Amino acid sequence: MALTTAGTAACAKCKFFDSEQSAELGLCRYNPPISQPSGDTAGVWPKVEASDWCGHFEPAAA
């Protein structure tokens, strides 16, 4: 198995990255939204930078 590094597994290259925010900031859609302490507010998706990475990386479709 090949070693995955931050350069090859960056959020910007992942199928779960939603870049509607900007080119450098987006939302991670791997997990469900994070609930908030107040029941009045909706859950939010985690904000990530395009250069971030994690162990859930899956390449985006070309």
By residue range, what is the domain housing residue 1? 1-52
**Per-residue model confidence (pLDDT) at position 8:** 82
- Is 43 inside any structural domain? yes
**Per-residue model confidence (pLDDT) at position 40:** 78
- Is 31 inside any structural domain? yes
- Is 15 inside any structural domain? yes
* Residue 44 vs residues 5, 7, 33, 34, 39: alpha-carbon distances, Å: 27, 27, 5, 5, 13
Count of domains in the chain?
1
pLDDT profile of the chain (62 residues), mean per 10: 68 91 88 83 89 92 78
Look up the pTM and report it.
0.75
- Is 12 inside any structural domain? yes
- Is 29 inside any structural domain? yes
**Per-residue model confidence (pLDDT) at position 2:** 58
